[in-house]
Amino acid sequence: MERSEYEKLDIVEDRMWWFAAMHKNLLMLARRMPIGKANLPILDAGCGMGGFLRRLAQEYRDKAIFGLELDLFACIRAAAKSALPVCAGSVNEIPFRDGSFAAIFSADVLCHRAVDEERALRQFHRCLAEDGWLVLNLPAYRWILSRHDAAVHNIRRYTTSGLSRSLQAIGFHPIYVSYWNAALFPLMTITRKLLAGSYGAGSDVKPYPPPIELVCRWITGIETALLRRGLRFPFGGSVLAIATKKGASDA
């Protein structure tokens, strides 16, 4: 991304409702699987400025955790923020040995223009141990590509069925795939497609007024509780998925 977007991310990712919800959803989903039981490290692939990497450190205190980030400026900041080792490198060619990780988390990375989606998924598969877990968050629906995506260099958005097929083609077994950010999705569509000219250039990564922040946290908190019970939303602004390298029964 542009340096300005990294700088905004650094400031906002610990405060903004959307990042809070995404982090909770990723960790909630991971808790349903035996990720913490394997005696292997965890990788945050495309860790950005380190906000989620720090959450992983809090969640898995007894495990080695590594970050991987293409941008050197982001690498330095992520390492400082998380107090964890961060490797400079691309998900297209992950610089770790085969079978190195018990789990790989990757939040909104496969969608970037610098990423070869199939190659990155194959790298995830290679670097996971047998029975290892891949946990993903990705933006939904190609038709909603907008100035936000242009600002953060997204060129792909996903459907649950399309992501499931991509994972299966590589050899992953999807365990759970769902949309989220469903309740706010109509508003997201209106602001990005119908009122796009009113919001200028740049991404939606920014501080929001406290009342809006509170309402959005409340709504996404309800969604997280429903996801925790195994609900799959039929639509939403993002796709959440967990898959295993080796076939396993549905959770």
Catalogue all structural domains in the chain, each as residue range(s) with its CATH number: 3-244 (3.40.50.150)
The predicted structure's pLDDT at residue 37: 65
Reply yes or no on whether the pLDDT at 161 is more than 70: yes
Q: What is the mean pLDDT of residues 121-133?
A: 96
| Whole-angstrom distance, CA of residue 168 vs CA of residue 66 | 26
Q: 45 with 104: CB under 8 angstroms?
A: yes
The predicted structure's pLDDT at residue 200: 52
What confidence tens digit (pLDDT) does each residue in 64-93 have? 999 999 999 999 999 999 999 999 999 999
DSSP-assigned states of every residue in 115-144: --HHHHHHHHHHHEEEEEEEEEEEEB-GGG
Question: What pLDDT band is residue 198 in, cutting at 50, 70 and 90?
Answer: very low
- The percentage of residues in the chain with a pLDDT greater than 70, rounded to a whole number, is 95
The predicted structure's pLDDT at residue 35: 80
- Total residues found in the chain within this entry: 251
pTM of the predicted model as reported, rounded to 2 decimal places: 0.93
| Whole-angstrom distance, CA of residue 92 vs CA of residue 6 | 20
What confidence tens digit (pLDDT) does each residue in 21-80 have? 999 999 999 998 888 667 899 999 999 999 999 999 999 999 999 999 999 999 999 999
User: Rounded to the nearest 5 degrees, what angle is found at the Cα of 17, between the Cα atoms of 16 and 20?
Assistant: 90
Phi, psi of 39 (to 5 degrees): -90, 55
Q: What is the mean pLDDT of residues 95-103?
A: 96
Share the mean pLDDT of the chain.
92
Q: Where are the alpha helices (DSSP H) in 135-193?
A: 147-151, 160-170, 185-189
